[in-house]
Structure 1
Amino acid sequence: MSLHRKSVISGLYLITDDGEHLLERVEAALHGGVRVLQYRDKHRSHADRFALGSALKELCARFDVPFIVNDDLELARELDADGVHLGQDDGDPVRARQLLGPNKVIGISTHNPEEAATAEAAGADYLGFGAIYPTASKEVGIIQGPEAVRAIKERVKIPVVAIGGIDRDNAPALIDNGIDAVAVISAVLAAGEPELAAREIALLFNRALPQPRGAVLTVAGSDSGGGAGIQGDLKTITLLGSYGASAIAALTAQNSTGVTGIHPVPAEFLRDQLDAVLSDLPIDVVKVGMLLSPENAAVLADRLRTYRKQMLVLDTVMVAKGGAHLLDDEAVQVLKKELIPLSYLLTPNVPEAERLTGLSITSVEAMVAATRELHRMGARNVLLKGGHLEGDEVADLFFDGSRFAIFTAPRTPTPHTHGTGCALASAIATFLAQGEPLPAAISRGKQYITRAIQFAGPFGKGHGSVNHYRAATP
């Protein structure tokens, strides 16, 4: 690997653990977006460390990711690793440079601006800094907090890697304060799905990009009236500041009064569209709406697996606002078997959840039971929308398999709600693509759709569309 030493350290920095099946878990995490791998091993013999290190180095070479050895200069030299990371008491960067050569990467652990400046002056290429948050991996005397990152970044010019207790939900504060990379261990390697856990954290770095920030592919039907479907999705994605691409699953003749015709897109042509987009564009999140046929659902599931697209926001569109059925029973079964288990976030409304689960949903307690059942079907996260229930507030129930959260908003008494589900799912997908963790993406998506409904007007003779523009431009 040809390394540009001053810029190679960025994004998700993974440190290995001592658990079993390390190679398999690391490979999955590399697929998820790991940008640097550090091999740390305090227990195995030198021969075993060399053997495992060689296998890890080969993995990193496949993914064009720097391979860094922790503390052990001799092992780094024997493996011809891309670099070494040294603790404050574990080595001299000057000697490391002499032993490894001018083109290797040398990192130093630091705990304050003075240590950081000293390490940079001694020739370090990047700095580890922490502990940022409390961590179970080692005892630390001082917890730095995310605000300390800015002081370090103002003192040095080389990349800084934050370490210590970092996960999906607390990493954004570090990125917003200018950190170059975040180092994690258990947040990825102890996860049930290391690839997805890595993807969640790697995607957070999109928040530091210029707009259009992140890319979303919408797979849905075309709405000739422009309020929902592909047209509504692309409006939301673009107005919120991301790049939108599309694959059309069906053509509809519809307006504010209803659907007067549906023309299915052949599954082979949907496959062609998906291949054209996913083989070329850097799609971060896939949002799915109306698929119409079981063949389309099956093709989409196959392409998602092929391209390893795990950030899937699945909006189970089954019935149009005017009452037209958009998903037959066979397609629902394929949806349940093939797509729900692939979904990162499932966003059904109450009638859709009832059809999927067979449960009657008339209360918050019933919503709890339904979200549990949808999670058991394989959805990683479920957002059950409560707009069809009565009350002055609209309450959407979120469940991630262990925790519930309720997102509420005042109910706006209006018939002009065409495109509500499409806009909410697209907004959440967009905020995910822009580097928001899932809870924040849902919260911001909820704010967006609340405004879109509040500013909706009688555009047409029937159920007018939500106001995408006003929702995105407060």
Structure 2
Amino acid sequence: MIIPKLYLLTNDDDISLLLTKLKTAFATNLIAVVQIRRKQVLAQPNGSQQLYDEALEIIALAQQYKVAVVINDDTALAAKLGVGVHLGQGDGDISTAKQLIAADQIIGRTCHGDSQLVKQALEDGADYAAMGAVFASMTKPQASIISREQLNAGCQLSLDKPLNICVIGGLSAENIGQLAGLPLTYIAVVGDIMDLTVEQIAQRCQQWQQALSIWQTLA
């Protein structure tokens, strides 16, 4: 049984604070992937340039800690920066992304709770399928909660053929144990880490490490 890794999504903190938080989290060696998602920044008049400049700083930091980077939604930007991309269902197709993005970079696809979308992501060559929301989330309070049966169906597909499953939505160190035993590769986290102060993040990551240790007992 593979122990899942944390997949951290950025919030809209000021970039200097965000970098400090990311450095603290990366230093714990729990973070496998960071997704650059800066919705408020992108909405600014010069948002695209600001996002590009900030992404360069985040990527440089991630490289120091050997953390993979993906850009949310934007294949062209991901290709320009030399990183991976996460695609929602309306954000372009995987085949185009594979043509533009280096072969060693990650391509992920949002699949909600639909095993058919997971199957399609698998057939299209995605590296992971994101399923959720698993629990109610403050980040996306309107997101539909998927059932355990839906999650199980997606995970079964990942057993039949190689495909990483990433769960997202309201996940915390306190509730992640409810998913113990599932063949998960990534656990996506935003608020449970990024909404904390810098001083709290290292301790929270330790709590995550303890919570994930349950997977070891299932090996």
Give the TM-score band, short-chain normalised. 0.7 to 0.9
Q: Distance in 2 between matches of 1:13 and 1:178?
A: 15
Q: Does 1:101 align with 2:98?
A: no
21, 26, 31: which one pairs with 2:22? Answer: 26
Deviation of 1:137 (Å) = 1.2
Number of positions where the alignment pairs a residue of Structure 1 with one of Structure 2 = 204
Q: After superposition, where does 1:151-300 map in structure 2 within 5 Å? A: 151-156=153-158, 157-192=162-197, 193-209=200-216
Which one has more relative contact order, counting CA pairs under 8 Å at least 6 apart? 2
Q: Distance in 1 between matches of 2:192 and 2:144?
A: 21
Residue in structure 2 matched with residue 80 of structure 1 by the alignment: 82
3-state SS of paired residue (2:130): strand
CA contact (8 A) 1:149 1:179 kept: no
Deviation of 1:210 (Å) = 5.6
Deviation of 1:209 (Å) = 2.3
Q: Distance in 2 between matches of 1:147 and 1:197?
A: 30
Residue in structure 2 matched with residue 37 of structure 1 by the alignment: 34
TM-score between the two structures when normalised by the length of structure 1: 0.41
Residue in structure 2 matched with residue 14 of structure 1 by the alignment: 8
Deviations 1:57-103 (A, max 9, x none): 1111111111111111121112111x111001111100000111322
Deviation of 1:30 (Å) = 1.0
Name the aligned partner's letter for residue 73 of structure 1.
Answer: T
CA contact (8 A) 2:164 2:185 kept: yes
Q: After superposition, where does 1:49-128 map in structure 2 within 5 Å? A: 49-81=51-83, 83-111=84-112, 112-128=114-130
3-state SS of paired residue (1:38): strand
Deviation of 1:182 (Å) = 0.8
3-state SS of paired residue (1:176): coil
Residue in structure 2 matched with residue 248 of structure 1 by the alignment: none
Percent identical residues: 26
Q: Distance in 2 between matches of 1:75 and 1:203?
A: 36
Name the aligned partner's letter for residue 97 of structure 1.
Answer: K
Taking only aligned residues, the RMSD between alpha carbons, in angstroms, comes to: 2.1
Name the aligned partner's letter for residue 194 of structure 1.
Answer: I
Q: Which runs of 5+ in 2 are unaligned?
A: 42-46
Name the aligned partner's letter for residue 49 of structure 2.
Answer: A
Deviation of 1:139 (Å) = 4.0
Q: After superposition, where does 1:140-151 map in structure 2 within 5 Å? A: 140-146=142-148, 148-151=150-153
From the superposition, tell whether residues 147 and 166 of structure 1 become closer, same or farther in structure 2 (CA, over 3 Å).
Answer: farther
CA contact (8 A) 1:14 1:36 kept: yes
TM-score between the two structures when normalised by the length of structure 2: 0.86
Q: Distance in 2 between matches of 1:169 and 1:176?
A: 16
Q: Distance in 2 between matches of 1:37 and 1:114?
A: 26
Deviation of 1:142 (Å) = 2.5
CA contact (8 A) 2:79 2:102 kept: no
Deviations 1:283-310 (A, max 9, x none): xxxxxxxxxxxxxxxxxxxxxxxxxxxx
Q: Distance in 2 between matches of 1:75 and 1:202?
A: 33
CA contact (8 A) 2:73 2:88 kept: yes
Q: After superposition, where does 1:334-373 map in structure 2 within 5 Å? A: none
CA contact (8 A) 2:82 2:102 kept: no
From the superposition, tell whether residues 78 and 10 of structure 1 become closer, same or farther in structure 2 (CA, over 3 Å).
Answer: farther
Going by fraction, where is helix more abundant, 1 or 2? 2
Name the aligned partner's letter for residue 175 of structure 1.
Answer: A
Residue in structure 1 matched with residue 44 of structure 2 by the alignment: none
Q: Which has the larger radius of gyration?
A: 1
Q: Distance in 2 between matches of 1:58 and 1:118?
A: 33
CA contact (8 A) 1:161 1:182 kept: yes
Residue in structure 2 matched with residue 388 of structure 1 by the alignment: none
3-state SS of paired residue (1:35): strand
